[in-house]
Chain A
């Protein structure tokens, strides 16, 4: 499970968590605003690294979201439509 040097990669960590995935994304981002954004603070703010900048485009995957709300308050451009997942869906901590 562990990668080299005993470092756990974020996707390995998120794979340990229990989620009840909703097919419908609770967070949506505006591709146009994000691609034009010169700061992209979301990349650093998201503890689950749901935001990534690849080939000049921002990609966002809601599946690993921990619902902390960091991206919601860090985005200076109003590019993020943020809601909690529907009742019962999303992260389901077993320890917390």
Chain B
């Protein structure tokens, strides 16, 4: 049996990034992917930030299967009878190095895995890693069926459900309260229709986030991303609340599609795929142990994901953690020391990078984002205020501040708004 320097489990952004770095540095790397091809099991909303991948593969957008560049961000507060939106466009985001990239995972992960192979690693797709090998209390390889694959180090990039991180003693199961369930439809539309509807030209793309009635007031939100010839439309909802409310994400997605704001955007479109995934959303509070003798855990498997309410950033963190894991493995190889102590360097590297610094800066965000008023009350409040301001009812007008005060008084109290704003100031 050939012995590998490193085995990577999972061909997503974290696994591919780590395998790529290690293979490029000359290590003998084997990457296992349980899907028929890398990307076959993966879905996301649709957009990610590019700097980290640009560091790994400079000017990746010239060859990666990018659908569109995000040049327009919309945040929309959805109320029962309408919506209030903030629409941001940047001409600077249309030029290299760009900022946000809209991609589809089945193609993107496949492309990353190709880069990994070109760097000299072996990518074994259609292979499910069933177990870990242990020697003297340390992880010493993996098992696929009855076949054993020994290695100096195992990088666990096997996603949010990481059964292997559990077997390695690094984590326990994530709780429903810490998870959001994402559901999505890819809806095909002609390219020109998309560009007209979303006011885009060439490769420009829109990323639209929705807060409010689309989740029936449950923590979470809706999203819509423009691909080249399709739209990615979906919802992200806290799993614990969803189940407690006896609601199904699949029903809420249908409801969302029929909201007047959405139905006109997807009109004439044809759904071509329905997908779902879990997202670990409690940041540092749910982060497992990152290293043990012979193994490191990366990306979603380690809950390395940032949710601030305005952004949900996972792939960038996955790539950064994969790269840090690879660097740790390279240093360990140099010293020929794969003990837990030696591999604790991984956490140090993450602390030096934006990964753990951002999670620390926004450590209050996950708890803050559980506040139901964000989803139930504020979108309605914004709608009522603007409706009152824009409406003419033939009566003498009241001052704008007076209108705002009266509506706030009717729906809630100034004190609770100030209190929520105070918490927001600290959390996000």
A, B assembled together: yes
A residues lining the B interface (CB < 8 Å): 5-8, 10, 13-14, 16-17, 20, 41, 43-49, 66-70, 72-74, 83-88, 90-96
> Is B258 within 8 A of A6, CB to CB?
yes
Binary contact track B97-131/A, C-beta < 8 Å → 1, others 0: 00000001111110000000000000001111000
Across-interface contacts of B107 in A (CB, < 8 A): 95-96
Quote the shortest CB–CB distance from B234 to chain A (angstroms). Answer: 10
Cβ-closest chain A residue relative to B185: A13
Name the one of A48, A83, A87, A92 contacting B276, with C-beta atoms under 8 angstroms. Answer: A48
> Is A16 within 8 A of B274, CB to CB?
yes
B250 at the A interface (CB under 8 A): yes
Cβ-closest chain B residue relative to A94: B106
Complex CA gap A84/B10 in Å reads 13
> Is B161 within 8 A of A87, CB to CB?
no
Given contact pairs A13-B274, A17-B273, A49 touches B250 in the complex (Cβ within 8 A)? yes
Name the one of B44, B128, B243 contacting A74, with C-beta atoms under 8 angstroms. Answer: B243
Complex CA gap A95/B183 in Å reads 13
Stretch binding the partner chain, chosen from B20-28, B32-40, B201-209: B32-40
> Is A93 within 8 A of B243, CB to CB?
no
B356 at the A interface (CB under 8 A): no
Complex CA gap A73/B35 in Å reads 22
> Is A68 within 8 A of B277, CB to CB?
yes
- Interface SS majority for chain B: mixed
Quote the shortest CB–CB distance from B38 to chain A (angstroms). Answer: 10
Given contact pairs A68-B277, A87-B126, A95 touches B104 in the complex (Cβ within 8 A)? yes
Stretch binding the partner chain, chosen from B170-178, B319-327, B335-343, B372-380: B170-178
B140 at the A interface (CB under 8 A): no
Name the one of B128, B160, B186 contacting A84, with C-beta atoms under 8 angstroms. Answer: B128
> Is B181 within 8 A of A47, CB to CB?
yes
Across-interface contacts of A67 in B (CB, < 8 A): 41
Quote the shortest CB–CB distance from A78 to chain B (angstroms). Answer: 11
Name the one of A48, A74, A86, A88 contacting B250, with C-beta atoms under 8 angstroms. Answer: A48
B246 at the A interface (CB under 8 A): yes
Quick one: which of A16, A43, A68 has the most chain B CB within 10 A? A68
Quick one: which of A17, A20, A88 has the most chain B CB within 10 A? A88
Across-interface contacts of B43 in A (CB, < 8 A): 93, 95-96
Complex CA gap A44/B247 in Å reads 6
> Is A96 within 8 A of B247, CB to CB?
no
Quote the shortest CB–CB distance from B365 to chain A (angstroms). Answer: 22
Complex CA gap A46/B239 in Å reads 10
Complex CA gap A3/B47 in Å reads 31
Cβ-closest chain A residue relative to B255: A7
B249 at the A interface (CB under 8 A): yes
Binary contact track B156-192/A, C-beta < 8 Å → 1, others 0: 0000110100000000011110010101011000000
Name the one of A5, A16, A73 contacting B271, with C-beta atoms under 8 angstroms. Answer: A16
Across-interface contacts of B42 in A (CB, < 8 A): 93, 96
Quote the shortest CB–CB distance from A90 to chain B (angstroms). Answer: 8
Name the one of B104, B127, B242 contacting A96, with C-beta atoms under 8 angstroms. Answer: B104
Cβ-closest chain A residue relative to B128: A87
Cβ-closest chain A residue relative to B129: A87
Complex CA gap A92/B278 in Å reads 17
B80 at the A interface (CB under 8 A): no
Complex CA gap A91/B36 in Å reads 9
Binary contact track B230-248/A, C-beta < 8 Å → 1, others 0: 1010000001001100111
A–B Cβ pairs within 8 angstroms, 5 of them: A13-B274, A47-B248, A85-B34, A93-B43, A96-B107
Across-interface contacts of B144 in A (CB, < 8 A): 87
Quick one: which of A47, A87, A94 has the most chain B CB within 10 A? A47
B272 at the A interface (CB under 8 A): yes
Complex CA gap A92/B250 in Å reads 19
Complex CA gap A90/B35 in Å reads 8
